[in-house]
Amino acid sequence: MKVLMLTPYLPYPLLSGGQIRTYNLLKKLSKHHEITLFALIKEEEEKQYIPELEKYCASVRVFKRSSKPFTLGNIVKTGFSRYPFLVMRNYVPGAVRAIREELDKGKYDLIHAETFYMMPHIPASPIPVILVEQTIEYLGYESFASRANLLLKPLLYYDIKKIRRWETHYWNLCHTLIAMSEDDRRYLAARVNDPDKVKVVENGVDTDWFMQKQRQETDKPTLLSVGTFKWLPNVEAVDFLVQKIWGLVKEKLPDARLLIVGNAPTKKVLGYQNSDSSIQVLGRVDDIRDYFSQAHVLVAPVFSGKGTRYKILEAMASGTPVVATSVAVEGLGVKGGKHVLISDTAQGMADAIVQLISDSSKRRQLAESGREFVRKNYDWSLISKKLDTIYQSINR
C-alpha cells in the first residue's frame, strides 16, 4: 500500500513516547508498505535526522512550526480561531498546501495521522484516514486546569472545551480510530457514532534491545523516574514522587538515591536536586538502559492522562521492578503483585518501594515475570502486525 503518514514531530531521535512509537512502526511497516512521511519540526537542526528516517520512508518532508508554544502569534491566532491553542500551535499553512499537492499527484491508498491536531492539515479527500490517538488530550489538560491559578482557570477551561469539541469531531470524521489500550478503546467507542471503527494498536517495546544490558544494581538503594517533561502528567508524577513519596522512603532507607530521567526537565524539577543531594536530575540521556539496569525500582505515580506508558514497558523489558499507580498501568493487562506492584497512595507506594528494595527475591520474581509478559504481549513485531492488519482491511 502507498501511505502518507503525518506526525507533529520528527520520529527521530527517540526522545518521547510518540517518537519511539512512530519510529519503530515505520521500521516494521516499511517492509510491506511504501510510506511517505510529512512531519512538523521546531528547529532547523532537526533536519540532520532525516537520513535516519529515509532508511524506512520513500520520502520525508518537514515543516517548521513555532519553536516555543506560547508565542504572541499563537495566542492571538487562537483568540480569533474556532480551534484550540493545541491545534493552532501545531498548524502550518505550508503543510496544508504540500499535503494537498502530494495527494493530487501521489495516488495514495491511505492517510495515517498521528494525533487529532494533525487532522486540520488534511484536505477533503476520498482517501481513507486512520487517526491514531496516543492519548486523549482534553483529559490531560482537564487534570492540569483543575490545579491551575484561579485567574487562569476560566481561559483554560474555555480552551479545553474547544479541544474536546474538535477532538471528538475528528474521531467521528476519520475512517478508523486507533486507541492505545482496550480501556481507551471503550472510552472512545462510547463517544463516536460508529463504535466499531475504534481499534487497538498498543504501544510496544524492542524487547531484544532492552534485554542486551545486564542488570548492575548499585550498593545504594536506587529509585528511577522516567518520562519526557513536555507531557504534563509526567511533571505531576515527579512532583508527587518528590513531595509525597520520597520523604517516606528516606525515613526507612536514609542512603537511598533518586534518579530523574527525561527530556526537557522544568526549572522546578531541576530545582529538586539543589535542595536534596540524594536527588539527581539527569534530563536527556544517551541510553536509558544504563539507568534501568542500575535501578532497584522504577516509580511511576501517574494520576492523569490516557494511553499506555513506555516507561512501564521498558522497565519490565529491562528487568527493572515497577511500583506504579493504577492509572500508570491502566490498559496494559498486568497483574498487581505478579508483574508490578500497584498503589494509589503515597504511603502505599513508599511501602512497596521499601519492600522491594529489602527483598531481592521479590525483585527477581517481578523482573522475570515482567520480562516474559512484555515479550509475549508488547514486542514491536507483534504490535506492527496489528497495524498492518488494519491497513490491509481498509484497502480491501
Span 147-171, pLDDT tens digits: 777 777 888 889 899 999 999 999 9
- Give me the half-sphere count of Cα atoms (radius 13 Å) on the Cβ side of residue 44: 0
Q: Between the CA of residue 198 and those of 133, 201, 276, what are the distances in Å?
A: 10, 10, 46
Domain 207-377 superfamily per CATH: Glycogen Phosphorylase B; (3.40.50.2000)
Q: Does the fold of domain 207-377 match that of domain 2-204+380-394?
A: yes
pLDDT, one tens digit per residue, over 101-127 is 999 998 899 999 999 999 999 999 999
CATH architecture of structural domain 2-204+380-394:
3-Layer(aba) Sandwich (3.40)
Name the stretches of the chain with pLDDT < 70.
305-308, 396
Spans of all domains in the chain? 2-204+380-394, 207-377
Per-residue confidence (pLDDT) for residue 305, from 0 to 100: 66
* Grid cell in block for residue 216: 548492575
Per-residue confidence (pLDDT) for residue 291, from 0 to 100: 93
Q: How far apart are CA 181 and CA 131, in angstroms?
A: 15
Residues 6 or more apart whose Cβ sits within 8 Å of residue 129: 110, 111, 112, 113, 119, 122, 173, 174, 175, 176
Per-residue confidence (pLDDT) for residue 365, from 0 to 100: 95
φ and ψ at 336, to 5 degrees?
A: -65, 135
Q: Say if residues 250 and 283 touch (Cβ distance below 8 Å).
A: no
Per-residue confidence (pLDDT) for residue 162, from 0 to 100: 94
Q: In one letter, which amino acid is 66? A: S
Q: Facing residues of 205 across strands?
A: 379
Per-residue confidence (pLDDT) for residue 172, from 0 to 100: 97
Classify burial at 243, counting beta carbons within 10 Å of its beta carbon; exposed 0-12, middle 13-18, buried 19 or more: exposed
* Grid cell in block for residue 46: 532537526
Angle between helix 267-275 and helix 232-240 axes, rounded to 10 deg: 20
- 239's enclosing H/E stretch is helix 232-240
